[in-house]
Amino acid sequence: MPVELARAKVNLCLHVTGRRDDGMHLLDSIVVFPAMGDVLEAEFGDSLTLKIDGPFGEELDAGADNLVIRAARMLSDRGAALRLRKNLPVASGIGGGSADAAACIRLLSDMWDIDGPSLEELARLGADVPVCMAQAPTRMSGTGEKLVPIPSIPTFWIVLANAGQGVETGAVFGAITSRDNAGLANLPESFPEVSDLFDFLRGQRNDMQVAAIEICPIIADVLSALDNTQNCALSRMSGSGGTCFGLFYNEKGATAAAMDIRENHSDWWVVSAEV
């Protein structure tokens, strides 16, 4: 059975640089894709069906509005039996729905042996769907349509933590007080060491973080929990929240930090993964 991993999308930084006349916000962000996420399986079928299970499966509707179904219909009117194991929290700022849609495009394009949609067509599913197709470090700007690969990012480890309170993206955008902020600092040609990457990221920010904390104060607690672990080089919120991340130099530090947070917050979702 063909299987595709829909990796979580993490915004290591996210600068809000403006807003168009149609209300769409302009962003400048570095995104990475840790080695964990939702899992999508597919089999040939007479009709298109979707079953959802996993830790967060009950929070999703498998009907026609699901992004996986919409992605499949964008490709073809053929049938397929799809099963989504939902391992990522819903409405959590790590691109779960967009990653699932991109995984569906990759999986069914190969299974049906047909060409996938253009990036413009993918963007109709969601602004994050195009960047989720390659699942590789990328500078993402504009409304999400400008994608520049960043091949020079060295391997590191990340801890993702979410306290279980969903955050609505539109509400966070509505609460932002400044929308015409500076974009990212000039990206160096390469990051020879992980410490060079972490130093660069410390000079960047997430312009949605303050507004998200106002709407969902427990995000501040999650950031504090990450900060208080040993060897955390940087903590920040991803996307519009409420998932936060801590950056670590190696697996040992990340694994120990995740274990420490779980012991103190057993009801939180906490994972560590390589990037």
Q: In what order do the strands lie in the sheet with 244-248?
A: 234-237, 244-248, 157-162, 269-274
Q: In angstroms, rounded to a whole number, what is the distance separating the alpha carbons of residues 132 and 122?
A: 10
Query: Right CATH number for 3-142 from 3.40.50.1970, 3.30.230.10, 3.50.50.60, 3.30.300.30?
Result: 3.30.230.10
User: Would you please indicate which residues are annotated as catalytic (active-site) residues?
Assistant: 9, 128
User: Which parts of the chain have pLDDT scores under 50?
Assistant: none
* CATH of the domain spanning 151-274: 3.30.70.890
* pTM for the whole structure: 0.94
Q: Are 43 and 79 in contact (CB under 8 A)?
A: no
Q: In angstroms, rounded to a whole number, what is the distance separating the alpha carbons of residues 130 and 127?
A: 7
pLDDT of the residue at 2: 87
Name the residue type at position 224: S
Q: Retrieve residue 38's tokens.
A: 């939702």
φ, ψ for residue 119, nearest 5 deg: -60, -35
Spell out the domain ranges in the chain. Answer: 3-142, 151-274
pLDDT of the residue at 173: 86
Q: In angstroms, rounded to a whole number, what is the distance separating the alpha carbons of residues 39 and 46?
A: 22
Q: Are 151 and 187 in contact (CB under 8 A)?
A: no
Q: Are 46 and 88 in contact (CB under 8 A)?
A: no
